[in-house]
A and B are shown apart, each in its own frame.
Chain A
Amino acid sequence: MKRLTRLALVALVLALGGLALAGIWRGAAPDPIRVGVLHSLTGTMAISERAVVDATLVAIEELNQSGGVLGRPVEAVVRDGGSDWSTFGSEAERLILQDRVAVTFGCWTSASRKQVKPIVERQRHLLFYPLQYEGLEQSPYIVYTGAAPNQQIIPAIRWAADHLGRRFYLVGSDYVFPRTANAISRHVVEMLGGAVVGEDYLLLGSRDTSPIVERIQAARPDVILNTINGDSNVAFFEDLYRVGITPDTLPVMSFSIAETELSTMNRAHVAGHYAAWNYFQSIDREENRAFLSRLHDAYGPSRVASDPMEAAYVGVHLWALAVTDAQSIDTEAVRRALGDLSLPAPQGVVYVDSETQHTWKMVRVGRIRSDGQFDILWESGTPVRPAPYLPYRSRAEWDAFLQTLYEGWRGWANPGPDASGTK
């Protein structure tokens, strides 16, 4: 009897303890960390930005598969910027104030980023921006995981000057990135003793590229430096092809055409031309193979990877590492932890420069193959330090340059003759 009583007591204590533990366990079921994903799912940029959203979600899924961040699952809130810059602003505000996301991964065009920048700065919210861009910017609340101009434009022009010729024709979409990139390109071409024989812009989303092609034919450059964004490129290359311009006669060095865009273009029109990026899908690295297999697991084996996708993927992982190091999702704590953070990314080691909040990255030049992939012709060997402000002009001069553009457009892109439309 006595033994029976003691046994019953022990059992009772164990049962109560188990219940209490189970209660704690259940009580501790963690809230998800909400993160914003802000890209154009519609409009002219959707073709490029949807792929970036996919890569961002793959990275988030990868985090969740390995137990989340700080033991909490990560939940993506995806918002559509609609290729409209003011929409980017309002959606960013909605993500921060309404969805209460911890961080936002988003923006492609500089126009959209410039729209979102004052908002994240006012709200002290962190934006991971995955695109190569024109530089001339440094915000404490933006982490730039894409290339600064010295990580893409300069080596590309250098390589073109050494291998293709020194007479350059600059073509771009009419918004802040191509304008600034071309301003930098002019400096670089000058340094290299080359010449800019023409500079032309077309409105974002415009397909009216034949006048430009005609002017290019007249100027007879050695190389075209192409900063056209979005599906205008389809028309542009089609026109080039139509008039008989081939990579042999007049190569194009593009700064905004990657595997994603190539998959929607006529390969015959683009094969043999060049592009400069930090990442190509064809990179032979263990980390890249892992990235591609995750991408293919999620979206099928025909899905291609591109530089902005890789930068977005790396951005999510950098954020997760910083949160883990900081043991907090607080913006300031995460920012502190981001400084000096590095990881072996698909493209090579990526390192967050604590001074500029840009990343050290590898630089590569590739030639488009007929299968929509790139042959890598040159790479920097080690990561290149980001230099958002190039020393060709003073910082004040660069800022004034941007200000002039902004005032001319009343925004960050040429609104076009129909100025009542998109800003």
Chain B
Amino acid sequence: MIGRRLSHQLVLWFILIALVPFAIVAYLAYAGAERALRSEVTNGLFAIAHRQVEAIGAVVRAHEDNVTALSRLPAAADAVLSLERAWREAGPGSAAYADVDRRFRPLLTSYVEAFNYVDLALIAASGDLVFSVKGGDEFGTNLKTGSYRTTGLGQAFERANTLLLTEFSDYAVYPDTGDITAFAAAPVLQANRQVGVVALHLNNDELLRVIRDFTGLGQTGETVLTRIAGDDVLFITPLRHDLDAAFRLKVPVRGSQAAPTERSALGYRGEGLAVDYRGEPVLAVWRYVPAIGAGLVVKIDAREAFRPIARLKMLTFALAAATLLVVVLAALSVARTIAGPVVKLTAATARIADGDLGRPVDVVASNEIGRLADSFNRMAGQLEESIERLKSTTAAKERIESELRVAHEIQMGILPKIFPPFPERPEFDLHALIQPAREVGGDFYDFFLVGDDELYFVIGDVAGKGVPASLFMAITLTLFRSSLVWGLDPAALVAKLNQHLCADNDLALFVTMFCGRLHVPSGEVIYSNGGHNPPYALRSHGSLEALPRVGGPALGISDKAQYQLGRVTLQPRDTLLLYTDGVTEAVGPGDEFFQESRLEACVRTAPDATARQLVERVSRAVAEFTAGVAPADDLTLLALGYCGSQDGSRGDGS
């Protein structure tokens, strides 16, 4: 999934990075090439248009020069005057005219033949056409008034006669011959006086040669000549794509958005893309040619002109496609080399996440990915080692913990747990509770009925906690029990225990201990306190007093320690409460101790409680005080209520 997305992204980025610059460069190159080619083609068309205009100008100029030279021959004036006179005086069919005609005809005929003209006409200033080499229908008519007035011949005469300079007619269809031709005419002067006009009927070969010169115009280019004729644009030469177009093809004048053929005929010069008479897009250059009163268009099909551009376009697209292919392949390959290892790494992490550390990542790469895979494998190995170590450590810990649990059970087993312990003895009520801070505590309590009247009871606290303390406690308890057989008073008992505990006490452990003996019939308690918290005596009338600290130091410190014996007498319904510092030093909120004051307040409010009730009340108060904070020390309570002697004195009191 990640691999696919990565490779998609990579392909996308590759395409972006490679193709965007390529597209920009290709577009710029293409646009530049198109501009350059268009300008080059246009320049070529300009040159051709110039050539064609020059060629037409040269044709016109050559004929004008010919007719000018002819008009200046003295023979020309002589001929016009003689012929006009004979024509006017005797008539065109007369012998006199024929005489004059014979005089001039050979010269003029040879001139026409020499210069390859169709015909030559001499026109009097009046407009009468008095001579022509061919003698066609125009002969004898008047060019100012007759039917030939509107022909090219009439036009040429009119212009030469009016402007008194050599003039050239427009190209037009001449009615007699039906050919498309023009006339050059020049005034004929004699003694600076104009006597007539000489006109040459042109062979249209030269113009057609110019028009049909397709040099530089490729397969489709051509030169088109047009003229405005009324409301139409008239094509006056054959077209490359329509040989019969001359003076046949007409297109209505359109005005705005006109084709070059119309614009050039109207007198505009220009260049640009246009649509020609076939509806074909062309690149054209156009001119007005005043010498023949026509518009000239040189054009070439856009398709042909821009063929190199089309090739360039194809090439560009092919190149773009090839680049795209290469880029995609490269991107995919890179994606494989980068994304492949990443995918494997991802799978490996997933395996490790599931707990399978055994299989290393199989990535062979020399780059950062390869190094990442190596580190990954190293990390997995170390993780495996750590887990192994952790496992063995945990096993050891568990073993110790189970042993400690056993020790705790043993320790707890040592302490008497059955309450009331002496149900058959109503004279006293005894209850005890121990809450170890750890699995194995150092507190202990015990009681023993020796004979019928002597109840030994003890509470102690080994300094320190854990296994050593519990062992020391076990030793202490064992010694206590075994020493009972001696029948000693509590002070002697404590002193004896002290001597035993001091011997071989390499660990320098010590224990505080309160030991007392109740004489059941009398309620008298003798005791000895070895450094322990003094117990409270709760009197039946409600007063509370701590037993005087009579005894000696804590046990196990010095074997020379002396212990005194204390004495107190319990009245019926009095209760003794023994406790360890786990009660008074229980830590509550704000690191505050429970303290004796709270203990005393708790005890004082329950004068009529049984031993069990008292113990439970105190332990509840401590639990409330500590509010769930784990106890730092063992907590032990022992309550001994005296009910009076066997004769039922307890009942008296209640």
Asked whether A342 lies within 8 Å of B269 as measured between CB atoms, the reply is yes
- Please provide the chain A residues from 181 to 224 with a CB less than 8 Å away from any CB of chain B in the complex: 187-188, 190-193
Q: Closest chain A residue to B53 by CB distance?
A: A340
A143 to B194, CA, bound (A): 32
**Residues 257-291 (chain B) with a chain A CB within 8 angstroms:** 266-269, 287-288, 290-291
- The listed residue (A155, A191, A382, A384) touching B170 by CB distance below 8 A is A382
| A383 and B162 within 8 A (CB) | no
Decide yes or no whether A118 CB sits under 8 A from chain B.
Answer: no
Collect the chain A residues with CB atoms within 8 Å of residue B8's CB. none
| B269 touching A387, Cβ below 8 Å | no
Task: Establish whether residues A351 and B194, one from each chain, have CB atoms under 8 Å apart when the complex forms.
Answer: no
A350 within 8 A of B: yes
Checking B163, B187, B288 against A351 with a beta-carbon cut-off of 8 angstroms, the contacting residue is: B288
- Interface pair B291/A385, CB less than 8 Å apart: yes
Pair A158/B162 contact, Cβ less than 8 Å: yes
Q: Kindly state whether residue A391 has any CB partner on chain B within 8 Å.
A: yes
B56 to chain A, nearest CB (A): 12
Tell me if B560 is interfacial: C-beta within 8 Å of chain A: no
Please tell me if A409 contacts chain B, counting CB pairs below 8 Å.
no
The 8 Å CB contact of B165, one of A348, A383, A391, is A391
Please indicate the chain B residues that have their CB under 8 angstroms from the CB of A188 in the complex: 164
Bound state CA distance, A188 and B268, in angstroms? 34
Q: A387 to B187, Cβ gap below 8 A?
A: no
Q: Are A383 and B293 in contact (CB under 8 A)?
A: yes
> Is the Cβ of B287 less than 8 Å from the Cβ of A350?
no
Q: Does A258 contact B (CB under 8 A)?
A: no
Which A residue sits closest to B267, measured CB to CB? A349
Q: Is residue B50 within 8 Å, beta carbon to beta carbon, of the partner chain?
A: yes
Q: Are A349 and B288 in contact (CB under 8 A)?
A: yes
Are B267 and A350 interface neighbours, CB within 8 A?
yes
Task: Give chain B residues whose Cβ lies under 8 Å from the Cβ of A191.
Answer: 164, 187, 189, 192-194
What's the Cα separation between A137 and B159 when bound, in Å? Answer: 24
Q: Which residues of B contact A301 (CB under 8 A)?
A: none
B53 — which chain A residues lie within 8 A by C-beta?
340
B266 contacts A344, C-beta separation under 8 Å: yes
Q: Does A341 contact B (CB under 8 A)?
A: yes
A398 to B2, CA, bound (A): 98
Q: Does A321 contact B (CB under 8 A)?
A: yes
Q: Complex formed: what's the CA distance from A155 to B187 in Å? A: 13
Taking the closest CB of chain A, its distance from the CB of B217, in whole angstroms, is 19
- Once the chains bind, are A380 and B192 in contact (CB under 8 Å)? no
A343 to chain B: closest residue by CB: B267
Contact A158 B163 (CB under 8 A): yes
Instruction: Provide the bound-state CA to CA distance between A154 and B165, in Å.
Output: 9
Flag if A384 contacts B269 (CB, 8 Å): no
- Main SS class of interface, B: mixed
Query: What's the Cα separation between A384 and B161 when bound, in Å?
Result: 13
The answer to whether A150 and B163 have CB atoms under 8 Å apart is yes
CA distance A391 to B293 in the complex (A): 23
- On chain B, the number of residues with a Cβ less than 8 Å from chain A's Cβ atoms is 24
CB-CB under 8 A from B164, the residues of chain A are 150, 154, 158, 188, 191-192
Flag whether A108 is at the interface (Cβ < 8 A). Answer: no
Name A190's contact: one of B155, B192, B290 (CB within 8 Å): B192
Give the chain B neighbours of A159 by CB distance below 8 A: 162
CB distance from B128 to the nearest CB of A (A): 15
A88 within 8 A of B: no
> Would you call A154 and B163 a contact (CB within 8 A)?
yes
Report Cα–Cα, A217/B194, bound state, in Å. Answer: 29
Q: How far is the CB of A159 from chain B (nearest CB, A)?
A: 7
Task: Given the known inter-chain contacts A191-B193, A349-B288, please indicate yes or no for A344 contacting B187, CB distance below 8 A.
Answer: no
Q: For the complex, is A360 an interface residue (Cβ under 8 Å from B)? A: yes
Report the minimal beta-carbon distance from B71 to chain A, rounded to whole angstroms. Answer: 11
B164 (CB) vs chain A CBs: closest residue: A154
Cross-chain contact A187 with B192 (CB below 8 angstroms): yes
Q: Are B162 and A343 touching (Cβ within 8 A)?
A: no
CB interface residues, B 237-273, toward A, < 8 Å: 266-269
Chain A: minimal CB distance from B193 (Å): 5
Closest beta carbon of chain B to A164's beta carbon, Å: 15
B163 near A155 (CB under 8 angstroms)? yes
**Chain A 343-372, CB within 8 Å of chain B: the 1/0 string?**
111001111000000001001000000000
Among the interface residues B268, B288, B290, B293, which one has the most CB atoms of the partner chain A within 10 A? B290
Most buried by A among B53, B170, B193: B193
Contact of A342 among B165, B193, B288 (CB under 8 A): B288
Q: State the CA gap A188–B163 with chains docked (Å).
A: 10
CB-contacts of A326-346 with B (<8 A):
340-345
Indicate which residue in B192, B290, B291 contacts A349 across the interface (CB closer than 8 Å).
B290
A343 and B269 contacting across the interface, CB-CB below 8 Å? yes
Q: Is the CB of A349 within 8 A of B266?
A: yes
Q: Which of A92-111 contact B (CB under 8 A)?
A: none
Contacts of B50 on A, CB cut-off 8 Å?
A: 340
Residue on B nearest A391 in the bound complex, by CB: B165
Which of these, B159, B193, B288, B291, contacts A380 with CB under 8 Å?
B159
In the complex, 27 of the A-B residue pairs with CB atoms within 8 angstroms, ordered by the A residue number, are A150-B165, A154-B162, A154-B164, A154-B165, A155-B163, A158-B162, A158-B163, A190-B193, A191-B192, A191-B193, A191-B194, A192-B164, A192-B194, A193-B193, A340-B53, A340-B287, A341-B269, A342-B288, A343-B269, A348-B267, A349-B288, A351-B288, A360-B290, A381-B155, A385-B291, A387-B165, A392-B192
Apart from A342-B290, A383-B290, A392-B192, list 15 A-B contacts with CB within 8 A.
A158-B162, A191-B187, A193-B193, A321-B269, A340-B50, A340-B269, A340-B287, A342-B268, A342-B287, A343-B269, A348-B267, A360-B290, A380-B159, A380-B163, A391-B165
A-contacting residues of B (Cβ < 8 Å)?
50, 53, 155, 159, 161-165, 170, 187, 189, 192-194, 266-269, 287-288, 290-291, 293
